[in-house]
Structure 1
Amino acid sequence: MFVEEHNHILATPRKCHLLPSHRKIDESQIGLIDKMSQSSIRTNLMMKYFSEESQGSQNVGFIELDARNYMRTRRKIEFSVGDSQWLLDYMNSMQIKNPHFFYVIQLNVDGKLTSIFWSDARCRMDYSYFGDVVCLDPTYGINKYGMPFIPIVGVNHHLQTILFGCALVLDETEYLFIWVLENWLQAMKGCHPKVILTDQDSAITGAIAQVLPRTIHRYCLWHSFQNAKRNLSKLFKRGSKFGKDLSYCARFLETIEDFEIKWNELLAKYDLKENDWMLRMYRKRQQWVPVYSRDFFCAYMSTTQRSESINKFFKWFLSKIMMLMDFVQGVEKALIKSQEKEIETDFKMNNVHPYLMLHMPIEEEASKLYTPAMFTKFQEELLGSLCYRCEKIEDNEGIAIYKYWILERDVKLVKICFASSLLVSCTCYKFEFTRLLCRHILKVFIVANVDNIPSEYKLKCWTRDAKYGKVFDENDQRIEEDCQAHLTLRYSSLSHKASKIATKGSCSIEVYKVVMH
């Protein structure tokens, strides 16, 4: 049983299931696991042993994640007293520096710390600007305790990875993922993201279904391919083209119909029609194949790049062999480095004018509207539009339909509906997916002599002023990223006023007595 604490106020006790209720490790297995873990035998080798002894993995009674969770719990039921006190002191000091630093700790019945979530003022502010799409990736651990580190990240208007909060938890159970998500939502004023990306872990999936029922849950494509390599390792051997074929099928097809055809061809080519893992992946295809998510915003986070960016975000600051205090301070250093990088990018944005390749009015407008990173992507689409031809095939009651094709290439036509009110849609769904106009629409704008981006398509998230505007907490108090800077300004202002009062108050004994009173 555990209790939760925020700023040293105990909440209602809640039971924590260290193992899912439908899977149980029996006493004889516990003894073997303890002996094997003491001998430093890897978990996957241990599971192989149990599978052979039980004549099949289906007869073991638990999965590898359960064994890892059990060993973590046996190795570390709670932080050491010294580490717990250091962590509490550190979190309190951060909150003294900035009252909008948010943290929640979880205690067991003996009052010992077991899990912690925290999010500083900058994370909370960034979420208010860029919190539509988030990624949760429990890929880090601490060697001494073996605890999962769970960063919750997003992407800003410079396409840089940013942190929205993070946690160190006892193990990877559904209960603790629920605990993390609930406290993260509390820090973010209960604002649910529109899309969340995770790996395919069932514990995370169950937690999201309970805490974020209105959020679209997608599987990270990078994790999906890592799972494929583990479950179909024989097909990824040197010389095999299976990896390329799977990647093409999942990532580069533009319609659902094309995916269905290529998927069936893939199954037939590699004799996978009866493969259990491929059947499960097909049933979950709407959660990991990009073509099924074209019609909602994913902020360029469905590809492998975002998971790689998370690794780069922490690469130079975190290590699995770190002690607790070094690990937590490493997270803070990574945040500071991220802030410095964003400040440097902002400086370049405000002092270097982007290079115009075509000198078209719409290109010049985009250079002033978007950040350099997003303007580069806009420019790629604009240049790409010049390689295509566009022809109006229908005009009915103010709505024109265009077809669009590449010269001397056999490609499918893309239909663009263009209304006289400058409302436009394209069957490629690039704008819906990225919030950036596609080359097909830009081609129609060129043909129709539209020189400016319509206001409906100037979405704030990619613009230079994406972070303009005040952010308030749950008590309607303004969240400030650097309270110390504002304290200095207030001190300076008060000192200036006090100096004037002192000057006037010293003019006579009577006035002096009044001022002193």
Structure 2
Amino acid sequence: MQEIVCGYAGKPVLENTQSCRCNCPALIRLLRLEDNRWYIAEHREKHNHSLSPNCGETIHWPSHKRIDAYSKDLVKQLKHNIFNLSKIYSIIGSFFGTMEEVPFTKRSLKTLCGKLGPEQADGDVRKTMEVFKELGANNPHFTYRVQADGEGRIKGLMWTNGSNRLQYSFFGDAVMFDTTYRTSLYDMMFGLFVGLNNHFQSVLLAGVLIRDETVESMEWVFSEFLHMMGGGCSENDTNRPN
């Protein structure tokens, strides 16, 4: 037997608490036959409370958190093309006519995107490494550094090329580092090392993605930056120009 009940069914778990539960009797009771088919054995359609008058209210009920298979496939394709959450929700709203007609909440969509993130992460890391290898093949002075956490996930990623390192050799007396924004897909901060040339123009020295701004992460960022620029030598620094 299976019962599909109203969200107001039953009593509050704790007494003296605000709850919508008021023992609503509305339900659909299903029974299963010997050949595993189901049939409706009982249907109570009367509720003992007022009903939500529009979709804008009903989408906040637990029964409307489910996202249909078609919308899931669409979300997966949009995430694959690096659309942010607001843009994805807006595109889905255009399929349903208006944002008010979308049958699930933005929070439900965010939860789905969070589940799809790990599935996409492995592929994106592989693509990033392939791009870096291609850049290294075309520019022998291109180099990068990767910091992994205890579970083997990327915690920090820094890169630079021969032109940037040459700029540092001339204009590396004063260097500024700042994190400009945080990515929405992997929740990593993007930072830049910037110098100033003899024409008072900003010159890019290196880029970095980091998961947090802890002391450990900052120590890794600055020490690896010095290694890449020739101020120190790490064990895997094989691409530093002479």
Structure 2 length-normalised TM:
0.46
Structure with more of its chain in strand, by fraction: 2
Structure with more of its chain in helix, by fraction: 1
Structure 1 length-normalised TM:
0.22
